[in-house]
Amino acid sequence: MDAPKELNDIVLPRMVVGPLTRAAIFLVVCIRQEGESRAALRSFCADLAGLVRAVEFRDVEAGLTCVIGFGADNWAALFGAPRPVELHPFREIRSGDRHAVSTPGDILFYIRAKRHDLCFELAAQIMDGIGDAVSVADEVHGFRYSDDRDVLGFVDGTENPRGDVAREAAIVGDEDPTFAGGSYVIVQKYLHDMKCWNALPVETQERIVGRKKLSDIELNDVEKPPCAHNALAVIEEDGKQLQILRDNMPFGRPSHGEFGRRRLRTDHRSGCVDRLSQPYGFGRTAVFAGDFCLPGFTSEAAVALSPAPMLLESGG
């Protein structure tokens, strides 16, 4: 079936390319195969925008949004053909004893706001509406850490694209006109060995990250090794740097020794996001970032962000 015209009319940049918030919930679910699960999900997602507005209205200045994305495995069952050109499950990466796995997930709900209680309320309402049709693969509650730093103590997201550059990077355009207005994302989970990390001298930490810890100033080319985190985060094509929108949220459970980041990367092509996923902790990062930044690493499947209510209402 043809994708509905509304896909090209819906305005997504406000949600995908919105400002970073103080709180977020990453909710990944798998569709149950029995019964009328898919029909129930299509019906629910058609009304999702209204549900978000109802919760958002309690504090409109809190900026509550919910981006919904769908994985490759159940795309055809939900929407039929065609499928977004570059939509595919996350491709596992192996290098030596390091393994970035592809974890299950059919639908991503990426909920964010300035207030965590609004994120929590919306997540609760979502699960109340679809709980019988899905099983939960993962749920992470993220927060902004001290001075917008990650759990490693460094400011995160300094070089994120902004404004028109961010919109151009994140939103699908003429390269896949049927799904113009959507975005590809990869959601990943990084777990850090904080005892190992905190035992390192600050100077060593700075060489791993590529920035000064206190001032957030980037190290010069003499000080910064080629395997520094911010050096590996640069991807070029035909001599031009490719921009990818990132949103990293710390999370953790200190009593369980769990300290990490939920990383969401957004782009108008999944190939760019794939290429960015490969360096961290693999191959050329073995000396620094692979040893200390990412001692544990799991990755979820790639999903295409799309205006789900319009898509499901018109094509379900």
Residues with active-site annotation = 156
**Cβ(87)–Cβ(270) under 8 Å?**
yes
DSSP structure class, residue 218 = B
Q: Please list, residue by residue across 100-126, b when 16 or more beta carbons sit within 10 angstroms of its beta carbon and e when fewer do.
A: beebebbbbbbbbbbbbebbbbbbeeb
Strand partners, 266: 185, 245
DSSP one-letter code for 204: H
Q: Pull the structure tokens for residue 115.
A: 């207030």
| C-alpha separations of 67 from 183, 289, 301 in Å | 10, 30, 16
d(CA 278, CA 286): 12
Instruction: Kindly state the DSSP code that residue 106 receives in the 8-state scheme.
Output: S
Q: What angle do CA 210, 213, 215 make, to 5 degrees?
A: 105
Cis peptide before 89 (omega within 30 of 0): no
Q: Is 79 exposed, middle or buried (0-12, 13-18, 19+ CB in 10 A)?
A: buried
Beta-bridged to residue 112, according to DSSP, are 24, 65
Q: Tell me which residue of 275, 279, 265 sits closest to 95, measured CA to CA.
A: 279
